[in-house]
Amino acid sequence: MKKTYIARQAILNTNMDTIGYELLFRDSPENKFPEIDQDVASSKLIIQNHIYGDIKALSMGKVAFINFTENSLIHKYPLMFDKGDIIIELMGHEKPTKNLLKIIHYYHKKGYQIALSEYDLANHWDAFFPYIDIVKINIEEINTKRILSALPRMKPHNIKLSAERVETKNQKQTLAEIGFSYFQGYFYHQPEMVTDKKLTSQKAHMLQLLSETFNTQINYDEVASIISHDVNLTIGLLKMVNNVATGTQIEIKSLKQAAVYLGDEKLCQFVAILALSNLTSDIADEICKQALITAKMMAELSNNNSFEAISEFAFITGLLSKIELMLGIPISKIIKTMPLAPKIEQALLKEEGPLGELLKLTSVYVSGSDDEIDQLIANYALNKEVVQQEFVKASKWCNDLDI
């Protein structure tokens, strides 16, 4: 029996906050829609990630946009989900029918949000507007100037516009000015490099702290010294100790004692969360979450025989995989400020060696942006189902961090 795999793509608002994820059916880890009936694809996605899986973990507590054909709507597949967990996305409908309108009215009355995708601006869709919450437009197929004529027809129904295939930040800005509320694509992966940009003292502290806590042997004196230079870090560390020490009495007399009390694993987790949340204050938190998921997934997959030799470097490599986007500084300049192992530098700069291959595999799996995954998995004899499971588990772990 073939396994079902899911890719996802973030949908962001004008403030670059993630409002939900579109879940996309795949019949293998290769990131392409299979040659399969769309009704079958919808039902398999639902079965795999609702009955046998955890759709809330996969969508990290955000709303999940799920594609439904007319047949899957007739069979009432959306009713398997709580109305607050999903948005019904209409797809595969070239022309509206009276029956489809009746079905959409039914789900609207049930309280489900509905998104109309593959919208072509034709007037015959206007009858659906009273029951539609979001209209999705593929900007590669529909010229943005043509969209303006449809806006007055949508306005009385408070419909939100969502743009698909947004590839640059300039596109996103232009679309926001027209009236788009949501954006989907890889525009937030676009680095804006400033070669002479310098790290602020706070961000330099974060990178220092990351380096120290992920050394093979943690120097607690050095960690305590770095933390002592930042009030927020100090408060955060003490709060973490307080959470861990619930039910016991402990008197912290120094920052070093607090760091030692947490132990290596919890200290590294604390640093990862706090550092990334500070480094990503001016960009989409989606990048931060992708870095955390990549790190967790790399750490788990590195237990495989093919990657055991680099397992100690896996987590921090994944954690730093988006650092160039976070800081807007070339990675070649960033790593000069951090005492990283040569294997980590090689992986981050060139995606070379086993660590680089694991980074590439995991990164493209998390972002759903590449079609080389199948080959990468085969190269290291990984279990395809395990890779998918680790992705879902890492997503749940990241969501539970509540950053």
Q: Tell me the pLDDT tens digit for each residue of 347-363.
A: 999 988 899 999 999 98
* Lowest mean per-residue pLDDT among 115-124, 194-203, 304-313: 194-203
Supply the DSSP symbol for 32: S
- For CATH 3.20.20.450, the residue range(s) in the chain are 5-189
Q: What pLDDT score was predicted for residue 399?
A: 84
Place 96 in a pLDDT band, splitting at 50, 70 and 90: confident
- Token digits of residue 107: 């789900």
Between CA 38 and CA 255 the distance in angstroms is 57
- For CATH 1.10.3210.10, the residue range(s) in the chain are 201-401
Crossing angle of the two packed helices 285-301 and 353-367, in degrees rounded to 10? 130
pLDDT reading at 45 higher than 70: no
Between CA 256 and CA 267 the distance in angstroms is 11
Q: What share of the chain is helix, strand, coil (3-state, %, to 5)?
A: 55, 10, 30
Place 14 in a pLDDT band, splitting at 50, 70 and 90: very high
Pair 126, 154: CB distance under 8 Å:
no
pLDDT reading at 194 higher than 60: no
Residue type, 357: E
Between residues 141 and 27, the one the model is more confident about: 141
Place 288 in a pLDDT band, splitting at 50, 70 and 90: confident
Between CA 322 and CA 369 the distance in angstroms is 15
pLDDT reading at 43 higher than 80: no
pLDDT reading at 249 higher than 70: no
Place 44 in a pLDDT band, splitting at 50, 70 and 90: low
Between residues 352 and 231, the one the model is more confident about: 352
Is domain 201-401 given the CATH code 3.20.20.70 in the classification? no
- Token digits of residue 110: 């049930």
The residues that bridge with 163 in the sheet, in sequence order, are 137, 183
State the architecture of 5-189 in CATH terms.
Alpha-Beta Barrel (3.20)
pLDDT reading at 219 higher than 50: yes
pLDDT reading at 3 higher than 60: no
Q: What pLDDT score was predicted for residue 216?
A: 64
Pair 114, 88: CB distance under 8 Å:
yes
Q: What is the percent of the chain with per-residue pLDDT over 70, rounded to a whole number?
A: 80
Pair 376, 357: CB distance under 8 Å:
yes
Q: What pLDDT score was predicted for residue 223?
A: 82
pLDDT reading at 305 higher than 60: yes
Q: What pLDDT score was predicted for residue 18?
A: 92
Place 192 in a pLDDT band, splitting at 50, 70 and 90: low
Place 152 in a pLDDT band, splitting at 50, 70 and 90: very high
